[in-house]
Chains A and B, each alone.
Chain A
Amino acid sequence: MLFYFRMLATRALSLVGKRAISTSICVRGGHGVAKVDDYALPAYFDRRENPLPDVQFVTELSAVQKSLKEKEKGSWATLSNEEKIALYRISFKQSFAEMNEGTKEWKSVIAGMFFFIGMTGLVVLWQRKFVYGPVPPTFESEWKEKEVQRMLDMRINPVEGFSAKWDYENKEWKK
């Protein structure tokens, strides 16, 4: 009996595949027992990148399931389709199709995005009114007119850009 338990504790945790290990005890060198916590044992989880988890999903098999497991040890050709599905559901919780299906989480994500963008907009408006000082004089209309006139005089971008759109003969913007 002691040999059996030691085999479980040291090497064969994954071979057994059942969570009944939680009730077994690790006997360590005569000092007493160390309780094995639930989270330290091999766990079952549905992940696409880990298709065969360490343990099967159903831990306590009912009588029907136990007899099915016995039948599984024989030839699989004798298993009906329902029995194969039942065996699958013993080992796995969700199929790949079920675990991969999308959620409706994106709606919350978009809603949250809009909400926070709105809040940011309010903060920016408040800042514009109460934090920033006046804008420099270079933004006034007269200044801007003189600026544009000087740019045209200097022939800024005369080929495709700014001055290219000005009609120098008639002193107006090209139509």
Chain B
Amino acid sequence: MSLAKPAMRGLLGKRLRFHLPIAFALSLVAAAAFKYGVTEPRKQAYADFYKQYDATKEFNNMRDAGVFESVRPTGE
């Protein structure tokens, strides 16, 4: 039988040389995807919310709905 002699050495090195760059690349892609898919939209959502936020108006609405214990609704 004339099979080629199989690789006896350097198996781990070969595996690492193949898989480590892929692993790093995929990790970077995952991090970038999370940043631009989740954190940036979330930051934008908060910025937009507070741009038009009137705290006093919201407080009065909540007060009139009766959810506070420290202040009663206006007119009671």
Give chain A's interface residues, CB within 8 Å of chain B: 81, 84, 150, 153-155, 158-160, 164, 168
Tell which of B1, B42, B67 touches A153, judged by Cβ atoms closer than 8 Å: B67
Query: Could you say which residues of chain B place their CB within 8 Å of the CB of A153?
Result: 62, 65-67
User: Does B26 count as interface, using CB distance less than 8 angstroms?
Assistant: no
7 smallest A-B Cβ distances: which pairs?
A153-B65, A159-B49, A153-B67, A154-B67, A160-B45, A159-B46, A81-B1
Query: Could you say which residues of chain A place their CB within 8 Å of the CB of B40?
Result: none
Give 17 new A-B contacts, CB below 8 A, not counting A150-B67, A153-B62, A153-B66.
A81-B1, A84-B1, A153-B65, A153-B67, A154-B62, A154-B67, A155-B58, A155-B62, A158-B49, A159-B45, A159-B46, A159-B49, A160-B42, A160-B45, A160-B46, A164-B49, A168-B61
Query: Could you say which residues of chain A place their CB within 8 Å of the CB of B61?
Result: 168
- In this complex, how many residues of chain B approach chain A with their Cβ under 8 Å: the count is 11
Within 8 A of A (CB), among B1-51: 1, 42, 45-46, 49
Query: Could you say which residues of chain B place their CB within 8 Å of the CB of A158?
Result: 49
Considering the complex, give the chain B residue whose CB is closest to the CB of A154.
B67
CA distance A84 to B1 in the complex (A): 9
CA distance A153 to B65 in the complex (A): 6
Considering the complex, give the chain B residue whose CB is closest to the CB of A160.
B45
CA distance A160 to B46 in the complex (A): 8
Query: Could you say which residues of chain B place their CB within 8 Å of the CB of A154?
Result: 62, 67
Could you pull out 9 A-B pairs where Cβ atoms are within 8 angstroms?
A81-B1, A84-B1, A153-B62, A153-B65, A153-B66, A154-B67, A159-B45, A159-B46, A159-B49
Query: Could you say which residues of chain B place their CB within 8 Å of the CB of A84?
Result: 1
CA distance A160 to B38 in the complex (A): 12
Q: Nearest Cβ in chain A — how far from B68, in angstroms?
A: 9
Query: Could you say which residues of chain A place their CB within 8 Å of the CB of B42?
Result: 160
Query: Could you say which residues of chain B place their CB within 8 Å of the CB of A160?
Result: 42, 45-46
CA distance A81 to B62 in the complex (A): 91
Query: Could you say which residues of chain B place their CB within 8 Å of the CB of A168?
Result: 61
Q: Nearest Cβ in chain A — how far from B64, in angstroms?
A: 9
